[in-house]
Amino acid sequence: MTILAGHYSYWITILLMVTGMYILIARGNLLKKLLGLSILQTSVYLLYIAPAKLVGGTAPIVAAGFAVYSNPLPHVLILTAIVVGVATLALGLALVVRIREAYGTIEEDEILALDGGDEGR
């Protein structure tokens, strides 16, 4: 059972990722889909940062008295990823607001019905 013990951070990551993906594809409400997308993004942060940690090390700020540091490279990548994620979320929310004003609803099937009715004309 060493697979379970040595890789437990990956199990949690997979769980979060799958839940986020399920919310993204299974729910029809656009705002809920955006929440699912955010959960998916945060699970990816965990995916990158968990391997960077060294037990017995410390944060990657060089100071006297510490010899082992956690790996700083994934931290840099994920800092960028977090900010890009919030940029994506902001644009998605702006689109949802405009869709609401144009269609009157943010449920996916109602929007498709409204759009399908328009195309039949």
Partner 1 sequence: MAVTVFAMALQRNLFSAVVLFGLYSFFMATVLVALDAVDVAMTEAAVGAGVSTVLLLGALYLVGGTEAKPLHRPLIPLTLAIAVGVVLAYGMQGLPAFSDPQAPIHTHVAPRYLKEAPSETGVPNVVTAVLASYRGYDTLGETIVVFTAGVGVIALLRRRQRKNK
Partner 2 sequence: MTGDLILRIVAKLLMPFMLLFALYVQFHGDYGPGGGFQAGVIAAAAIVFYAITFGLAAAQRLVPERLVERLLALGVLLYAGVGLAGLALGGSYLDYFVLAHDPVHGQHRGIFWVEAGVGITVAAVMLKLFYMFAARGRDAGDL
Q: Which residues bind partner 2 (CB under 8 A)?
A: 59, 61, 79, 82-83, 87, 90, 93-94, 97, 101
Q: How far apart are CA 39 and CA 16, in angstroms?
A: 7
Q: Are 36 and 23 in contact (CB under 8 A)?
A: yes
Q: Give whichever of 17 and 30 is closer to partner 2, judged by the CB atom.
A: 30
Instruction: Give the 3-state secondary structure of residue 66.
Output: coil
Q: How far apart are CA 86 and CA 3, in angstroms?
A: 34
Contacted by 103, from partner 2, partner 1, none: CB < 5 to 8 Å by type: none
Q: Give whichever of 79 and 114 is closer to partner 2, judged by the CB atom.
A: 79
Q: Give whichever of 101 and 118 is closer to partner 2, judged by the CB atom.
A: 101
Contacted by 70, from partner 1, partner 2, none: CB < 5 to 8 Å by type: partner 1
Minimum distance from residue 117 beta carbon to partner 1 (Å): 17
Q: Which residue has the tokens 């700020």?
A: 61
Helices 30-49 and 72-103: angle between axes, nearest 10 degrees: 180
